[in-house]
Amino acid sequence: MRRKIMGMNYLRLAEVFAQPKKNKTVSVRGWVRTFRANRFIALNDGSTQQNLQCVVDFENTEQALLKKINSGAAVQITGKLVESMGSGQSVEVLVEQLNVVGEADPELYPIQPKKHSFEFLREKAHLRVRTATFSAVMRIRSVLSFAIHQFFQEKGFCYVHTPIITGSDAEGAGEMFRVSTLDAKNPPLDDEGAVDYKQDFFGKETHLTVSGQLEGETYAQGLGNIYTFGPTFRAENSNTSRHLAEFWMIEPEMAFYELEDNMNLAEAFIKYILEYILGKCEKDLEFLDQRLANEEKTKPQNERSPMGLIEKIKFVVENDFKRVSYTEAIDVLRNCKPNKKKRFEYLIDEWGADLQSEHERYLVEKHFNAPVILYDYPAKIKAFYMRLNEDEKTVRAMDILFPGIGEIVGGSQREERLEVLEKKIETLGIDPEELWWYLDLRRFGSTPHSGFGLGFERLVLFATGMNNIRDVIPFPRTPQNASF
């Protein structure tokens, strides 16, 4: 892939390293990561983790030009590609021509060649992708997205774009962002003094979607197997390292699938995409593996993770996920040490308790030592659309729990029986009018069917070994923060 600009063929660094044209003249361009000893430029153009060392002949280069070669500057370089004497690189460029395209004032450019904290870099989110860590994370994010489409497309699933603005709030009551064009200072009021949304843009209250599932189900009941992959919005005020207000979710939905088919698909899906990056993102993963190893060294011995990043990914790819019912999990948790010694923040004493992240992580990291698929949850703690089991107490839900993360997938077999669903909606006080179209699916050609939602950023967290979800999306949206 070559671009001809101003009479020159520029190579991307990934191409330079893939097939080094030794002793040939090459032209490259990118940004200066560092400039050492007035001689060595570490150049990066974003196409690969590796920097290209470009050696400047400083004796024959004007002082004024040397002064412009600073971290962050954009440069074009032409020179001979030769075998490198230095360690850590196979080839380097002996600079013959150097053009500073865009300067970066070293007094002002915030990304200096030293270790910056991730907190600091979040405030410079527009520049952080020029660091080794963030560019690696974002390349992996891109390859993962592609692998997701490839997995489903190979299996004949249809990619469906469900709406982002939704008029149904059955699922996310209280957790939704309102979409409105009404004058916030002076909204029209109805006879009872409440805001009159009939006069709003859509003639009713509308919100940003919290999930494409309900609409996804309608398409599965015609196309068979579908998936969505789009933005999702939740106004939950959870300021954790696992929650964003805007995140991306993959939601497949399959007609005629029962819970076990659903689990099989979810497990095969996760393994496929992780295996895909092991093959395609080797350099980036090695870099992040090393980064994580260095970080682990700063922790006390007993808090260190026993596995490195690549090792963890391989472990997930190569081993069966443990399938455990909620009831079995509660038994484990009730009798475990941190529960008995009251070290959990939320103690587990009864069947029916909702699981918190600390419990999920105990099961995965301490007890089973593997990803866990928990299924058959109490109906009371799960959504209205999940299929009721014969015991009438549990529903065919399944969550996948991952080490270091907790819940990464939430899914279920859906309730396909009209009467059972209607009864459920009634007991929960949901207005059936709101869901008339969803209930229609159970009136006309209803099938047992299933689906799940995988939070894309939680997957990227796992795949990159990063700790905070704010660092795996370009511009994170969280409570009190929508900068950039």
Contacting residues toward ligand ATP, per CB under 6 A: 234, 242-244, 247, 249, 407-410, 453-455, 457-458
Q: Percent helix, strand, coil in the chain (nearest 5)? A: 35, 25, 40
Complex with ligand ATP: residue 35 or 456, whichever CB lies closer: 456
The least distance separating ligand ATP from the CB of residue 338, rounded to whole angstroms, comes to: 20
The least distance separating ligand ATP from the CB of residue 253, rounded to whole angstroms, comes to: 13
The least distance separating ligand ATP from the CB of residue 398, rounded to whole angstroms, comes to: 10
Sheet holding 449-455, edge to edge: 158-159, 225-233, 246-255, 449-455, 406-414, 394-402, 372-378, 322-325
Q: Please tell me what DSSP assigns to residue 405.
A: T
The least distance separating ligand ATP from the CB of residue 401, rounded to whole angstroms, comes to: 9
The least distance separating ligand ATP from the CB of residue 210, rounded to whole angstroms, comes to: 7
Complex with ligand ATP: residue 29 or 243, whichever CB lies closer: 243
The least distance separating ligand ATP from the CB of residue 410, rounded to whole angstroms, comes to: 2
Strand partners, 40: 36, 55
Complex with ligand ATP: residue 104 or 355, whichever CB lies closer: 355
The least distance separating ligand ATP from the CB of residue 270, rounded to whole angstroms, comes to: 11
Contact criterion met (CB below 8 Å) for 393 and 401? no
Complex with ligand ATP: residue 35 or 362, whichever CB lies closer: 362
Complex with ligand ATP: residue 72 or 465, whichever CB lies closer: 465
The least distance separating ligand ATP from the CB of residue 155, rounded to whole angstroms, comes to: 21
Q: Can you tell me the distance from the alpha carbon of 411 to that of 400, in angstroms, rounded to the nearest whole number?
A: 8
Complex with ligand ATP: residue 234 or 424, whichever CB lies closer: 234
Alpha carbons within 13 A on the beta-carbon side of 108: 4
Integer angstrom CA distances of residue 65 from 57, 58, 244: 12, 10, 44
Output the six-digit token pair for 169. Answer: 């709030």
Complex with ligand ATP: residue 403 or 453, whichever CB lies closer: 453
Contact criterion met (CB below 8 Å) for 381 and 399? no
Q: Return the ∠ at Cα 395 (arms to 391 and 399), rounded to 5°.
A: 140
Output the six-digit token pair for 19. Answer: 């097939």
Q: Can you tell me the distance from the alpha carbon of 441 to that of 217, in angstroms, rounded to the nearest whole number?
A: 8
Complex with ligand ATP: residue 257 or 462, whichever CB lies closer: 462
Kindly report the length of the chain: 484
The least distance separating ligand ATP from the CB of residue 305, rounded to whole angstroms, comes to: 20
Complex with ligand ATP: residue 45 or 415, whichever CB lies closer: 415
Amino acid of residue 374: L
The least distance separating ligand ATP from the CB of residue 156, rounded to whole angstroms, comes to: 24
Q: Can you tell me the distance from the alpha carbon of 470 to that of 368, in angstroms, rounded to the nearest whole number?
A: 28
To which residue do tokens 């709030």 refer? Answer: 169
Complex with ligand ATP: residue 99 or 240, whichever CB lies closer: 240
Q: Can you tell me the distance from the alpha carbon of 251 to that of 226, in angstroms, rounded to the nearest whole number?
A: 8
Q: Please tell me what DSSP assigns to residue 449.
A: E
Give the three-state DSSP class for 329: helix
Looking at 27-128, list the stretches that DSSP marks H as alpha helix, in order from N- to C-terminal side: 63-68, 118-122
- Distant-in-sequence, close-in-space partners of 344: CB < 8 Å, separation ≥ 6: 338, 356, 358, 359, 362
The least distance separating ligand ATP from the CB of residue 431, rounded to whole angstroms, comes to: 21
Complex with ligand ATP: residue 72 or 172, whichever CB lies closer: 172
Q: Can you tell me the distance from the alpha carbon of 372 to that of 365, in angstroms, rounded to the nearest whole number?
A: 10
